[in-house]
Amino acid sequence: MIPGVNPRQMKAMMKKLGMKSEDIEDVEKVVIYTKSGNYVFDNAEIVATTMQGMTTYQINGNPRFEEGEVEIPQEDITLVSEQAQVGKDEAKEALKASGGDIAEAIIKLSE
């Protein structure tokens, strides 16, 4: 907010600049998915701003981070299973424990 400018004046100024701002109501949850985990915003406040045909979204709230499970490709499981001479379930668990590091998983299983 600009000091000394009331909300009505602010909307008029934005309109002159070709901007439109709108609150998105009743948002229950926003999740941003990343490879390392997810950022979860419960009861977030979302403002959509459109300018020159492009809409941007502003998220206001306190996120919590949920660690993601490492995705293990089937080929990696097969490789570790064959190299360490163990079952595929055991190979998959070793890969999860090593964060997907194939060499580390094989070494741990071979000890």
What is the reported pTM?
0.58
Residue type, 50: T
Q: pLDDT-derived band of residue 8, with 50, 70 and 90 as boundaries?
A: confident
E strand or H helix at 57, and its extent? Answer: strand 54-60
What number of residues does the chain have? Answer: 111
Helices 74-84 & 102-110, crossing angle to 10 degrees?
Answer: 30
- For 66-104, what is each residue's pLDDT tens digit? 988 778 999 999 999 999 999 999 999 999 999 899 999
Q: Which of 100, 101, 94, 93 is nearest to 70 (CA)?
A: 100
